Each structure stands twice: as structure tokens, then as C-alpha cells.
A = this chain, B = another copy of it.
């Protein structure tokens, strides 16, 4: 299961444009850290830190190949993040349903739940 701090790290990792871009690149193919760093107007060390944040959030993993480190994605973490948002969305849908029910009651003045609200 995911602890709350795991979820913190997950969203925290996604809350930066550079990291999201790194993630997109890592998703579509394998890149070394230096290859990734070449795309951004910042130092190698800065990109290295961003990759570390993604790694701590279990969104990517690094595997050695010779002297370079390949950054690859962890698909399960992405799926879990989406599930979390879906949970919140489901809650909201239930709320909408409850409000619809209330409106229906008020429209007909009936105690139970009869009839539809017009418009």
C-alpha cells in the first residue's frame, strides 16, 4: 500500500515542469542522465537532482550501462497516481448525485424521493 508520504512525494515530483518533461522523455525511451541534461538550460547537477526526486517518488529507476546511467519509467507509479485522482473524482460524483436527490425532493415537496426537477 501507499503511505501518505509516498503520495506526497509522488505529487511533489510531478509539481515541476522540468521533472514532468524528464518523465515524458523517460516514458518514450531510455536516456542517460547527461543526455537528458543536454535539453535543459541548467547545470548537469540540477538535472541530476530532478532525476533523484523522480526516483525517490518511484516514478523512474536508474540502471547502469557502462559508464552511463539509464533513466527508465516505472509505469505502476503513474497508474497509482491516476487512481488516486479517480478516487477523489468519484467522491465528487457521489456528491453531485446527492445534490440531485435533494433538488428532486424540494421540487415535488415530497418527503421520500419522487419525481424529477424540471430543468
**Interchain CB contact under 8 A, A82 and B89:** yes
Q: A7-B17, A82-B82 are in contact. Are A88 and B12 (CB under 8 A)?
A: no
Whether the pair A85, B88 counts as a contact (CB closer than 8 A) is no
Do the beta carbons of B82 and A78 come within 8 Å of each other? no
CB-nearest residue of chain B to A8: B15
| A89 touching B95 in the complex, CB below 8 Å, given contacts A4-B17, A11-B15 | no
Instruction: Name the distance in Å between A83's Cβ and chain B's nearest Cβ.
Output: 9
* A–B complex contacts, Cβ < 8 Å, 28 sampled: A4-B17, A5-B17, A7-B17, A7-B20, A8-B15, A8-B16, A8-B17, A10-B15, A11-B12, A11-B14, A12-B12, A12-B15, A15-B15, A27-B88, A27-B91, A28-B91, A28-B94, A29-B95, A73-B92, A75-B89, A75-B96, A78-B92, A79-B89, A81-B85, A82-B85, A82-B86, A82-B89, A85-B85
